[in-house]
Amino acid sequence: MANGTAKLTIDDFIKNNEVVKCIDSLKSAFPAGAKPLVVSDVVDGDNHQYVNLVQKGGGVLGIALVGYTYILEEMGIRFIRLAGTSAGAINTALMTVIGKKEDAKSTRVLDAICKLNFFDLVDGHPAARWIIRNFITHGDFSAKIKKWMTGIIATLIILLAGDFIFLGWQHSVHWLSTVTMVLFIITGIFLLMAGVLIFYILSLMKRLKNAGFGINPGDYFYDWIKKQLIDNGVKTVTDLQNKAAEDIPGLRLRVDHEDGLQGLKGDVTFITSELVTQNKIQFPAMWNLFRNDIDSLQPAGFIRASMSIPVFFESYFINDIPQGEEMKRKWLDAFGIDTPPANARFVDGGILSNFPINLFYNPKIITPRLPSFGIDLDDSRPGDSDPEPENWSLLGYFGRMFNTIRFYYDKDFLLKNKVFQKGIGTIPLAGYNWLNFFLSDQDKIDMFVRGAKAATEFLMKFDWEGYKDERKDMRKKLLREHALDPSAAENNLHNK
């Protein structure tokens, strides 16, 4: 992930003074033996505490996710079930396949990141790389475009005005004829360049359509994540599922629970959006909608599908989906579709569910044995929260419209199940552009530090006993509703 010849190391992140302070403050607040940190009733033989974890998508902001999980792991927290979307899917995949369930993973994730040059992920046309390198940085992209367009238009107006003015004056001042001719030549060259630019943009648009409406193929990322999986012993979807569900030595409950350890089995989920049938897909769970043989699919494709940022990356395709009565039955059971698509086209899962914490809700459990933790990424600027619509820019308007669509599903769940909010920590990342694949080394370290600070603040405030009580009260309330109106309550449970 280093730029140029600079080489970041793991120590650049974890030995940062601010990160060290985070660890020291937590260990002072929760001294072992006297007042230990308690976040779960599920522990292993080494007294690691287990939680479920969902990681939000956010492009290159995913580095902050690693800072957050690093703090959790340093405080003895491990993960049974994992889920993520887009950048969250990348970290989720790495945390699933690296080492054992009881191992800390974040430093090894950092090692993989340190060896990756983010800008290599921008593997499209040279024009795309130039735009991203020069426009999509800390600065407001729309402001830069506006500045460039204003400059081009102003230059054209000045040149045309000069042509007309000097054309009229040259009859009065003889030497101005030479100036007028030069000015006309400059104007002609400028218009020619503008024409070439427009033609080039149109050709790029045609190329964009032929490339599946993505400016970057995403091949470099696919090959990179595939290598990460293989290097950690995951070559097939079966390998991935087995890795996610492997046994944890000495797993036990801190306190008695009527369900014991039943159902405490690990899994992993990557969210993606399928455009042909317009559905949210959960991989690897829904693999059988696309193949009859589980290992005829490539697990790296699931992560590639989840992070297929529209326009930025080409869609991910699964072609030649088997047909027949059995496949029809699968699609009918899953989505009420009796005609399976011949080909499936996937884009970023964040379009439908960028924070899929609902996956971890089990309505059959009255008292939770472990919490569901979530890591939220907030890159909104102060102006993004302006409540006055007349103050919004055009891009701000479209941004709000898009965010309304992509956040609604997850927000709806959290509004109905407010206790889950207590397990979510938010990393403030205002000023960072989630598409800036040309981050400086310092940017990467700073985002990691922000993640570490957010995790520290979260753990300082998290109340496991209070979380359990609220979850139990929520479930009892639903049971009372069920007694009064069985049909309404059952529908409510189903939606949750």
Q: What is the pLDDT of residue 487?
A: 47
Percentage of the residues of the chain whose pLDDT score is greater than 90 = 54
Residue among 15, 57, 119, 145 at smallest CA distance from 374: 57
Spatial distance between the Cα atoms of 14 and 104, rounded to a whole number of angstroms: 13
Q: What is the DSSP letter of 343?
A: S
Retrieve residue 348's tokens.
């970023």
One-letter amino acid identity for 242?
N
Q: What is the pLDDT of residues 255-302, one digit of tens each?
A: 999 999 999 999 999 999 999 999 999 999 999 999 999 999 999 999
271 and 85 Cβ atoms separated by less than 8 Å: yes
Q: What is the pLDDT of residues 130-146, one digit of tens each?
A: 766 766 655 555 555 66
Helix spans in 82-140 (H): 87-97, 106-114, 126-134
Signed CA dihedral, 113, 115, 118, 120: sign only: negative
Greatest Cα pair distance, the chain, in angstroms, is: 102
One-letter amino acid identity for 47?
N
Q: What is the pLDDT of residues 198-224, one digit of tens each?
A: 776 666 666 665 556 778 889 999 999
Residue among 403, 214, 225 at smallest CA distance from 310: 214
Spatial distance between the Cα atoms of 436 and 443, rounded to a whole number of angstroms: 10
143 to 310, 379, 382: CA distances (angstroms): 21, 17, 16
Q: What is the pLDDT of residues 383-414, one digit of tens each?
A: 555 566 666 555 566 566 666 666 777 878 88
Give the number of other Cβ atoms within 10 Å of residue 412's Cβ: 13
Spatial distance between the Cα atoms of 406 and 80, rounded to a whole number of angstroms: 27
Which single residue is written with the structure tokens 């002072």? 28
Residue 59, pLDDT > 70, answer yes
Residue 319, pLDDT > 50, answer yes
217 and 123 Cβ atoms separated by less than 8 Å: yes
188 to 201, 358, 484: CA distances (angstroms): 20, 60, 80
Rounding to the nearest 10 degrees, give the CA dihedral for residues 72, 74, 77, 82: 60
Q: What is the pLDDT of residue 215?
A: 81
Question: Could you give the 3-state DSSP secondary structure of residue 45?
Answer: coil
Q: Per the confidence metrics, is the pTM higher than 0.85? A: no
Q: What is the pLDDT of residue 74?
A: 97
184 and 192 Cβ atoms separated by less than 8 Å: no
